[in-house]
Structure 1
Amino acid sequence: MVQSFIPVILAGGKGERFWPLSRRHHPKQFLSLDNSGDSLLQSTANRLLPIAKNWNNLWLVTTASIIKNVKKHLPHLVDSNILIEPEGKDTAPAVAWATLEIVKRYGNDVIIGFFPADHWIKNEEDFLITLDSAFQLASPGNAIVTLGVQPTYPSTGYGYIEQGKLINYIGNLPAYQVNRFMEKPSQKTAELLIANGKYSWNSGILIFRANIMLQELEKYTPQLLNSLRKKGKDAYKDFEKISIDYALMEKTQFTYILSANFGWDDLGDWNSLERLTDKTTINIEHCNHIGLDTTGSIIYASEKNELIATIGIENLVIVRDKNVTLIVDKNRTQDIKQILKQIANCPESQDFL
Structure 2
Amino acid sequence: MTANFVPVILAGGKGERFWPLSRRHRPKQFLCLDGTGISLLQATAQRLLALAGGWPNLWVITAAPIASGIREQLPQLPDDNLLIEPEGRDTAPAVAWASLEVAKRYGDEAVLGFFPADHWIGDQGAFEQTLTAAIDFAQQTEAIVTLGIQPTHPATGYGYIEQGLVPSKSVGLLVYPVSRFTEKPDLSTAEAFIKSGRYSWNSGMFFFRAGVVLAELERHAPQLLQALREQGVEAYGSLEKISIDYALMEKTQRAYVLPVNFGWDDLGDWNALERLLPAQGANVNVANHVAQESQGCIVYASDPGEVVVTLGLEDLVIVRDGNVTLVARKDQTQAIKTVLKRLAQDDTYQSLL
Shared fold by TM > 0.5? yes
Instruction: Report the equivalent of 2:180.
Output: 180
Quote the Cα distance in structure 1 between the aligned partners of 2:306 and 2:66.
Answer: 28
The 1:280/1:321 distance shift into structure 2, 3 A limit, reads closer
Quote the Cα distance in structure 2 between the aligned partners of 1:145 and 1:327.
Answer: 41
Instruction: Report the equivalent of 1:345.
Output: 345
C-alpha contact (below 8 Å) 2:224/2:240 kept by paired residues: no
Quote the Cα distance in structure 1 between the aligned partners of 2:188 and 2:17.
Answer: 23
The residue identity in structure 1 corresponding to 2:123 is: N
Quote the Cα distance in structure 1 between the aligned partners of 2:69 and 2:145.
Answer: 31
Instruction: Report the equivalent of 1:33.
Output: 33
TM-score by length of 2: 0.97
C-alpha contact (below 8 Å) 1:141/1:212 kept by paired residues: no
Instruction: Report the equivalent of 1:102.
Output: 102
> Could you tell me the percent identity over the aligned residues?
57
C-alpha contact (below 8 Å) 2:279/2:285 kept by paired residues: no
C-alpha contact (below 8 Å) 1:62/1:84 kept by paired residues: yes
Quote the Cα distance in structure 1 between the aligned partners of 2:311 and 2:189.
Answer: 36
Instruction: Report the equivalent of 2:238.
Output: 238
Instruction: Report the equivalent of 1:315.
Output: 315
User: Equivalent residue of 2:242, what SS?
Assistant: coil
C-alpha contact (below 8 Å) 1:141/1:211 kept by paired residues: no
Instruction: Report the equivalent of 2:270.
Output: 270
- Alignment map for 1:1-353 (pairs within 5 Å): 3-279=3-279, 281-353=281-353
The 1:279/1:286 distance shift into structure 2, 3 A limit, reads closer
C-alpha contact (below 8 Å) 1:146/1:258 kept by paired residues: yes
C-alpha contact (below 8 Å) 1:3/1:109 kept by paired residues: no
Quote the Cα distance in structure 1 between the aligned partners of 2:181 and 2:75.
Answer: 37
Quote the Cα distance in structure 1 between the aligned partners of 2:280 and 2:32.
Answer: 22
Quote the Cα distance in structure 1 between the aligned partners of 2:94 and 2:141.
Answer: 21
CA deviations on 1:256-288 (whole Å, 9 max, x unpaired) are: 000111101111110111111225741101101
User: Equivalent residue of 1:165, what SS?
Assistant: coil
The 1:280/1:182 distance shift into structure 2, 3 A limit, reads farther
CA deviations on 1:163-193 (whole Å, 9 max, x unpaired) are: 1123212233211111111212333332332
How far is 1:311 from its partner? 1.3
C-alpha contact (below 8 Å) 2:136/2:171 kept by paired residues: no
CA deviations on 1:217-244 (whole Å, 9 max, x unpaired) are: 0001000000000111111100121000
Point out the more displaced range, 137-146 or 165-174: 165-174
Quote the Cα distance in structure 1 between the aligned partners of 2:60 and 2:302.
Answer: 28
TM-score by length of 1: 0.97
C-alpha contact (below 8 Å) 1:300/1:318 kept by paired residues: yes
How far is 1:119 from its partner? 0.9
CA deviations on 1:3-60 (whole Å, 9 max, x unpaired) are: 5100000000000111110001110000011122110000000111011101111000
The residue identity in structure 2 corresponding to 1:4 is: N
Quote the Cα distance in structure 2 between the aligned partners of 1:280 and 1:178.
Answer: 42
C-alpha contact (below 8 Å) 2:290/2:308 kept by paired residues: yes
The residue identity in structure 2 corresponding to 1:107 is: G
Quote the Cα distance in structure 1 between the aligned partners of 2:274 and 2:306.
Answer: 22
Quote the Cα distance in structure 2 between the aligned partners of 1:165 and 1:116.
Answer: 29
C-alpha contact (below 8 Å) 2:114/2:205 kept by paired residues: yes
Quote the Cα distance in structure 2 between the aligned partners of 1:141 and 1:191.
Answer: 33
User: Equivalent residue of 1:139, what SS?
Assistant: helix
The 1:296/1:149 distance shift into structure 2, 3 A limit, reads same
5+ residue gaps in structure 2? Answer: none
Point out the more displaced range, 82-91 or 170-179: 170-179
What RMSD over aligned residues (CA atoms) do the two structures have, in Å? 1.3
